[in-house]
Chain A
Amino acid sequence: MSGHDSKYFTTTKKGEIHELKEELNSQFKDKKKDAVKKVIAAMTVGKDVSMLFTDVVNCMQTENLELKKLVYLYLINYAKSQPDLAILAVNTFVKDSQDPNPLIRALAVRTMGCIRVDKITEYLCDPLQKCLKDDDPYVRKTAAICVAKLFDINPELVEDRGFLETLKDLISDSNPMVVANAVAALSEIQESTTKLIFDLNSNVLFKLLAALNECTEWGQVFILDSLSRYKAKDARDAESIVERVTPRLQHANCAVVLSSVKVIMQQLELITSTDVVRNLMKKMAPPLVTLLSAEPEIQYVALRNINLIVQKRPTILAHEIKVFFCKYNDPIYVKLEKLEIMIKLASDRNIDQVLLEFKEYATEVDVDFVRKAVRAIGRCAIKLERAAERCINVLLDLIKIKVNYVVQEAIIVIKDIFRRYPNTYESIIATLCESLDTLDEPEAKASMIWIIGEYADRIDNADELLESFLETFPEEPAQVQLQLLTAAVKLFLKKPTEGPQQMIQVVLNNATQETDNPDLRDRAYVYWRLLSTDPEAAKDVVLAEKPVISDDSNQLDPSLLDELLGNISTLSSVYHKPPEVFVSRTKVVPLRDEEELEVESGPEESSGPAPPVQGLPTPTGLPKPAPVNDLLGDLMGLDVNSDGGPAPASPAARTAPPKPILLQASAAQGLQISGQMVRKNGQIFYDLTFDNQGTVPLDGFMIQFNKNTFGLAAGSPLQLPTIAPGSSAATELPMIPLQNLPPPGTPLAATLQVAVKNNQQPVWYFADKLPLQAVFLEDGRIERGQFLETWKSLPDSNEVLKELKDTVIPNVDILLEKLNASNAFFIARRLLKETNQDVLYLSVKLPPNLPLLVELTFAVGDPGVKVAVKTSSTEYAPLFFDAIDELIKSI
């Protein structure tokens, strides 16, 4: 060979293609080969050389393997765009698959499988059949993988030709490479179908264990990963598997080690003998630690997995905390993971050592890492009661260095420590206050203000301190404003003197009149009313003892943890997310006609009974009766005028089940209001019943709604007659969406806050649940094709899942009827034969024009419904989960 291949990249002039064409048809082999190389070079840099297809394919019939491989490389790339021409190559492929040279046979089968053209696959079957039984293991192992390739293109063909059976036979092949590839192919096929293809019975298990020792390292991983699907019969079965797998922990390949750990961790669950368990944990610890000597990329994967393992079995690395100390040259992603594990392993025994480390980290250069280190000290304080004081001392040392972001981070964690150990460490407040004016981050400011408010009675100049923040109240971020408000109230309640009284006035005025933030305003009103009606109650509420906190940051839910442990050494264990959250479903089994169930859409009335009503979300929010008239002016806005309006209350004669009670008679001087949101004929109505259990007739009813997620507002004035004592009246108030929207950026809330007044009584406030199903639009039905397309076009990050654990679907037809009536439209249904589960696809549309794509997975009659929602605005998902849950429960 002459010269360097890089020269092939240099020809970029015009007549290039023509020149290449000539060279490809040259009679000199070397020239031909050079030309093909040039073509490949052009191909790899993204130039289109597909017009040379015929000329390149003509070079295929050659004895020269090097040239043949180059042509194949070209073919794989362009066959798809030239399917008709690709057929030209078939003859050579078929001929090659019978070549005496095993390399050529394998090459032919491998390449044919990569050409994803339907027409070619038919010709592939015969050669594949032969190659699966070839004498040469290299050919067999290539053919094994080729079955998976073919299955991906045409699963029926694979089944019809019995390739699956042949593939299963290959598990017993004499050559371990062949076994490994057969296992890989079967596992992949199993994953893309719901049929049971790769049954892991004890016979197969035995074969896999036997092949394990002989295989290449990659084959060992395939086999171990398959083994992890095996459910051992009993403790003895589990022990015998573990015994065979344990030697793999000594492998130099980290993937083999981690996959072995997965198998062992799983079988450990079944092993009952504590001695065996202890012994196994002892054996696993050194190899796990050794993973941290690998390249940083692999260390990262190992650390994410170790994080899970120590949550489940904290003792395994309890004595190894030193190996998780950060090295100065660790990449940041490794350092942050080590920090997490250090916190998890911190104990009374090693905390001094750990604190020394954290303190060092807190003076490093990387700001993000420093912050996390400071936070880690606080988390240890919360976790280890006996070490709390030492942690605080370290934090105080750090504050003294006066590095701004360290100070702020320290104050944030000290606030948590104060919550965890109330009335224990106030002595340090003076030190904290020294840094007051350097705070410029909202979270740090808010934390400091919380501390001042909480200990207002112990800080002599608490009022001065708070006042210094007040000057900038309107400019502060919401987080700080809320804390200032609460702290001012606490101060006033603890020191009801003149200074604080003036301050509270200023704060309340600011928070009610000068703000657009509904949270702040609502909280201010609540405080205001509490203070003006019953200061003692205010004390009970505002100064109530708070529940003890614990460090649960980064602690996983036990059921999620178990699921992730089953996925050790997979991406799932690195992301700490279950696979279905991020694995894309490009291979959703096509919906089969015979499995579908179409339901006619009927314009029936929806009358969902009784969604449970929730009270106001905050404990401080329960309103007490008090005549605070100025609030009415503010909240009611006074544009709803009831005078002179005719009041034909709609008849309450409907035989609907009792509506949930929204306002209790006992709390509202005898006025009881019950009601719920319903959707009828494309309109939303608030179906309300007013029951006067008091002693005076009530009239002049008005209603107003606070800004809410869907901007629901009354479509007409509330039309009610005078209600005599002992009687009731009902009305259906039309509601119009998108009228009363909160400022952009306000988080979604499922509550609807309502104010009602009449001529005789003060304003009553209550909160109703905002049922998402009431705003499902009538035109939410979409075509199946469009559904699939939309589903595919949305990234997976837009899919949100939830399992409704206790929800049961007794009957699919009734459900569909119900859903249809509620504007949740049926798209398709399929059956998962293996698990006997149903999958329903639905579409829903929210105003103004937001489609939600829905997938329900469940077994009829069994509790547990998996709901997946895919939409461009996933923040609606939680509301939707509640809505669908209610809809299902209402059938």
Chain B
Amino acid sequence: MISQFFVLSPRGDTIISRDYRGDVPRGTAEIFFRQVKFWKGGQEDAPPVFNIDGVNYLHVKVNGLLFVATTRANVSPALILELLQRIARIIKDYCGILSEDSMRKNFVLVYELLDEIIDMGYAQSTSTESLKAYVFNEPIQLDVQKLPNLGAASIFMNPGKRVPGTAVTKSVVSNDPSGKKREEVFVDIIERVSVTFNASGYIQNSEIDGTIQMKSYLSGTPEIRLALNEDLAIGKEFGGTGDLGMVLLDDCNFHESVRLDSFDVDRTLVLAPPDGEFPVMNYRMTQEFKPPFRVFPHVEEAGPFKAEVVVRVRGEFPSNSVANNVVVRIPLPKGTQRVSCEQEPGAVGQSTDFKEATKLVEWTVKKFPGNSEHVLRVKLTLAQERNANLKKETGPINMTFTIPMYNASRLQVRYLQILKKSKAYNPYRWVRYVTHANSYVTRL
């Protein structure tokens, strides 16, 4: 059971603070923040669970904000961490966006929510849908115009784990200023790809973590039928390497609103989506798949104090998709003194940045169409005569990227059917795909 809950800003200011049991003294927010800030001399991230003087502190970081719970009991930490994530999501559902500003503007609403979500430290109601019946404050939305550009691309900017992936910034409870509520439902297939290439360019390890995320603005919570690939197999006992074109998941789990009656037969999920954003299904896949990018690094020695690192990156996804914000990070040898980066002729929307302290070159390509290739030559000067291990000291190269309307697993939503009697009822349905890089590493 939770004794206290608080939300701290990145600077350590208390934005929200609620005491549920009165068995932990005040001042814990300061103690907590000092610990987290100076964990191992400020060198390392503090673990999410620790104990100071008999008080257990559990926290998660969401959008730079720290959601913290304290307790004295031997509780389930997974429950509390899940709950903290959930609280963040509910606040986002209500306020449209989750930020220090939006929480300060809506603090009365947040307190009202917290009273319904937790009673005496025990989790109660955490679905945005059911909370609507008990919460009366109206959210005050931030001026969306003032937010950074929310073009199509930014929809997929969220690098978080399973946390909100859609960038629909309107509250699920408040009414449109026009007075009319737009009937729509968003289904996002968000995949986070991890690939490790070994020095010979072979795939050493690969994995996809995927989530089917739904955000519903439909009135009257109609039932929805969501059909996935029919050739979807789950569990390793199905054997096979997937060469028959099957999509083979290692494991998956489902939101509690999902009914799986016909899942085994025709791979359809039936659910009455509650308001708010939630994961319909999480899945994990280690079956071989075509990695969207390949990196070909090459280290050339050019004299005793000079070397050149050439990095060629190929996009191996269909040419009708475009990857956004591709960042390639190239760690250089520790003895590197000066660096000059040479982009290919005619390069547009590319930039490079050398981080002196960490000897890291960051190469950004704003738009990277599928089936194309970019090259960067990094010329470096060494402080000392190079030794034989120049190559070993370079890399591993890692990449981050976002590819909208592409998914590596080939898991697909065949159709999204809204089961409502009236024929005139035809709400907007959005099915979107996006692939993020999680840990995308090329070793040298």
Chain A interface residues toward B at CB < 8 A: 1, 3-6, 9, 37, 40-41, 44-45, 65-66, 69-70, 73, 80, 103, 110, 113-114, 116, 138, 141-142, 145, 148-149, 152, 177, 181, 184, 188, 191, 216-218, 221-222, 225, 250-255, 257-259, 286-287, 289-290, 293-298, 300-302, 322-323, 325, 327-333, 356, 360, 363, 365, 368, 400-402, 567, 569-572, 574-575, 579, 582-584, 586, 795-797
Is there contact, CB below 8 Å, between A301 and B49? Answer: yes
Contacts of A225 in B (CB 8 A): 76
Known: A145-B122, A252-B253, A252-B279. Is A301-B106 also a contact (CB below 8 A)? Answer: no
CA of A222 to CA of B46 in the docked complex: distance in angstroms? 28
Closest to A581 in B: B51
Is there contact, CB below 8 Å, between A574 and B77? Answer: yes
**A338 vs chain B, min Cβ distance (A):** 12
Contact pattern, B 394-415, Cβ under 8 Å of A = 1, otherwise 0: 0010100000000000000000
Known: A69-B115, A322-B286. Is A569-B17 also a contact (CB below 8 A)? Answer: no
CB of B250 within 8 A of chain A?
A: yes
CB of B218 within 8 A of chain A?
A: no
Known: A217-B256, A333-B45. Is A571-B108 also a contact (CB below 8 A)? Answer: no
Is there contact, CB below 8 Å, between A290 and B284? Answer: yes
CA of A145 to CA of B56 in the docked complex: distance in angstroms? 22
CA of A254 to CA of B439 in the docked complex: distance in angstroms? 22
CA of A368 to CA of B44 in the docked complex: distance in angstroms? 9
Is there contact, CB below 8 Å, between A295 and B439? Answer: no
Is there contact, CB below 8 Å, between A301 and B77? Answer: yes
CA of A295 to CA of B253 in the docked complex: distance in angstroms? 15
Is there contact, CB below 8 Å, between B48 and A5? Answer: no
CB of B81 within 8 A of chain A?
A: yes
Is there contact, CB below 8 Å, between B112 and A69? Answer: yes
Partner of B108, one of A5, A302, A322, A330: A5
**A588 vs chain B, min Cβ distance (A):** 13
Partner of B53, one of A110, A328, A569, A795: A795
Contacts of B21 in A (CB 8 A): 152
Closest to A106 in B: B134
CB of B72 within 8 A of chain A?
A: yes
Is there contact, CB below 8 Å, between A583 and B74? Answer: yes
Contacts of B160 in A (CB 8 A): 295
Known: A181-B122, A290-B284, A301-B78. Is A401-B393 also a contact (CB below 8 A)? Answer: yes
**A134 vs chain B, min Cβ distance (A):** 15
Contacts of B51 in A (CB 8 A): 571, 575, 582
Contacts of B134 in A (CB 8 A): 103, 138
Contacts of A252 in B (CB 8 A): 253-256, 279, 281-282
Interface pairs (13), CB distance under 8 Å: A1-B138, A40-B111, A65-B136, A138-B134, A217-B82, A250-B254, A251-B256, A286-B251, A298-B82, A327-B441, A360-B396, A401-B389, A584-B72
Interface size on B, residues (CB 8 A): 94
Interface residues of B in 340-359 (CB under 8 A from A): 358
Is there contact, CB below 8 Å, between B49 and A574? Answer: yes
Contacts of B105 in A (CB 8 A): 4-6
CA of A572 to CA of B163 in the docked complex: distance in angstroms? 27
**A174 vs chain B, min Cβ distance (A):** 17
Closest to A367 in B: B43
Partner of B251, one of A184, A290, A327: A290
CB of B16 within 8 A of chain A?
A: yes
Known: A110-B119, A322-B205, A363-B393. Is A289-B72 also a contact (CB below 8 A)? Answer: no
**A173 vs chain B, min Cβ distance (A):** 15
Is there contact, CB below 8 Å, between B111 and A216? Answer: no
Known: A69-B115, A301-B48. Is A293-B162 also a contact (CB below 8 A)? Answer: yes
CA of A853 to CA of B399 in the docked complex: distance in angstroms? 57
CB of B158 within 8 A of chain A?
A: no
Contact pattern, B 225-257, Cβ under 8 Å of A = 1, otherwise 0: 000000000011000000000000011111110
**B348 vs chain A, min Cβ distance (A):** 28
Known: A254-B82, A328-B439, A401-B389. Is A184-B282 also a contact (CB below 8 A)? Answer: no
Main secondary structure on A side of the interface with B: helix
Contact pattern, B 361-403, Cβ under 8 Å of A = 1, otherwise 0: 0000000000000000000000000010100110010100000
CA of A6 to CA of B100 in the docked complex: distance in angstroms? 11
Is there contact, CB below 8 Å, between B76 and A569? Answer: yes
Q: A257-B253, A368-B44 are in contact. List 9 more A-B contacts (CB 8 A).
A: A40-B111, A177-B124, A184-B122, A255-B82, A293-B161, A363-B393, A401-B389, A582-B74, A584-B55
Indicate the member of A191, A252, A290 with the most B CB atoms within 10 Å: A252
Chain B interface residues toward A at CB < 8 A: 1, 14, 16-17, 21-23, 40, 43-49, 51, 53-56, 59-61, 72-79, 81-83, 85, 101, 104-109, 111-112, 115, 119-120, 122-126, 134, 136-138, 140, 160-163, 194, 196, 198, 204-205, 207, 209, 235-236, 250-256, 279, 281-282, 284, 286, 331, 358, 387, 389, 392-393, 396, 398, 438-439, 441, 443
Partner of A4, one of B59, B140, B194, B254: B140
**B50 vs chain A, min Cβ distance (A):** 9
Contacts of B282 in A (CB 8 A): 252, 290, 293
**B401 vs chain A, min Cβ distance (A):** 13
Contacts of B76 in A (CB 8 A): 221, 225, 255, 258-259, 569-570
Contacts of B53 in A (CB 8 A): 795-797
Partner of A363, one of B60, B79, B122, B392: B392
Contacts of A332 in B (CB 8 A): 44-45
Contacts of B443 in A (CB 8 A): 360
**B274 vs chain A, min Cβ distance (A):** 12
Is there contact, CB below 8 Å, between B108 and A365? Answer: no
Is there contact, CB below 8 Å, between B256 and A289? Answer: no
Is there contact, CB below 8 Å, between B396 and A328? Answer: yes
Contacts of A329 in B (CB 8 A): 398, 438-439
Known: A218-B126, A571-B49. Is A44-B17 also a contact (CB below 8 A)? Answer: yes
Indicate the member of B119, B123, B255 with the most A CB atoms within 10 Å: B119
Indicate the member of B77, B105, B255 with the most A CB atoms within 10 Å: B77
CA of A571 to CA of B49 in the docked complex: distance in angstroms? 8
**A340 vs chain B, min Cβ distance (A):** 13
Is there contact, CB below 8 Å, between A250 and B82? Answer: no
Contacts of A9 in B (CB 8 A): 104
Contacts of B106 in A (CB 8 A): 5
Is there contact, CB below 8 Å, between B23 and A586? Answer: yes
